[in-house]
Amino acid sequence: MAQRGFVQLVGAGPGDPELLTLKAYKVIQQADVVLYDRLVSDAVMALIPEGCERVYVGKRRADHSVPQKQIGQLLVDYARQGKQTVRLKGGDPFIFGRGGEELEELVAAGIGFSVVPGITAASGCAAYAGIPLTHRDYSQSVRFITGHLKDDSVNLHWAEFAHSDQTLVFYMGLVGLPKIASRLQKAGRSFDTPLAIIERGTTPEQKVTITTLAEVAKVLATQEIHAPTLIIIGDVVNLYSKLNPNL
């Protein structure tokens, strides 16, 4: 239960409000103030009670509405005011959500906290698209990878991603996807490795584009694809045409 000097870090899931955990829903209903990200869907935001203060602290490429350090300070300030403070993050706070960084700020300030995990985009989007992340016949492991390219550089251990028996999931990878596809091929991943781009996953607006490492640059040049997206690479993508519930 929230108390004075206490923050609850809550995963909002990938978009569908019914994917919120029961605990996440209860915490949101009890909040005095909610600090929320850009990736929290409108449907989830609609669950926040009237009268609850809402503070937008979202980020997008090259546009941080509130610097990360300031977000931590806001959490500390609201908690010290005795408000039931919720930090609401799209997906899961501990998977590319910078949740650990924000908790470090709370610890340094002596603020108590709890974490309510959420369904991360990889599992949510893959399930709604009918793409299993692992499959005994195609993939024995899965890697979650940040596709956000700092200074437009691609500094990843590409040789580790060359094995065909693993699924690669790139978060925040749309802008850098042509470079990612090129580097994977140079590292040894087959040019015809299937690739799925999932836009607005788990929402009614979900759109799935299927292509290959060799063809993805052409697809991006000829089709309108908009963030937020999740990118899945690997032979499991071939199951999309068979297992997608909407086909």
The set of residues, in sequence order, having a beta carbon less than 8 Å from that of 89 and lying 6+ positions away, is 9, 10, 11, 12, 36, 37, 39, 40, 97, 99, 118
Q: Is the pLDDT of residue 62 over 60?
A: no
- Selecting from 1.10.15.40, 1.20.1260.10, 3.30.1490.190, 3.40.1010.10, what CATH number does the domain 6-116 have? 3.40.1010.10
Architecture of the domain delimited by 121-243: 2-Layer Sandwich (3.30)
Backbone phi, then psi, for 184, in 5-degree steps? -65, -40
* Averaged pLDDT for residues 232-245: 95
Q: pLDDT band for 213, please (50, 70, 90 cuts).
A: very high
How far is residue 196 from each of residues 5, 135, 173, 199, measured CA to CA in Å? 43, 16, 12, 10
* Mean confidence (pLDDT) of the chain: 93
Tell me which residues are annotated as active site. Answer: 37, 59
**Among 80-89, 90-99, 151-160, which is the least confidently predicted range?**
151-160
pLDDT for position 68: 87
Q: pLDDT band for 155, please (50, 70, 90 cuts).
A: confident
* Cα angle: 26, vertex 29, 33; to 5 degrees: 125
Residue ranges per domain, the chain? 6-116, 121-243
Q: pLDDT band for 149, please (50, 70, 90 cuts).
A: low
Backbone phi, then psi, for 178, in 5-degree steps? -60, -40
Model confidence, pTM: 0.93
Closest CA relative to residue 7, chosen from 35, 43, 44, 42: 35
Structure token pair of residue 186:
């140079």
* Averaged pLDDT for residues 130-145: 97
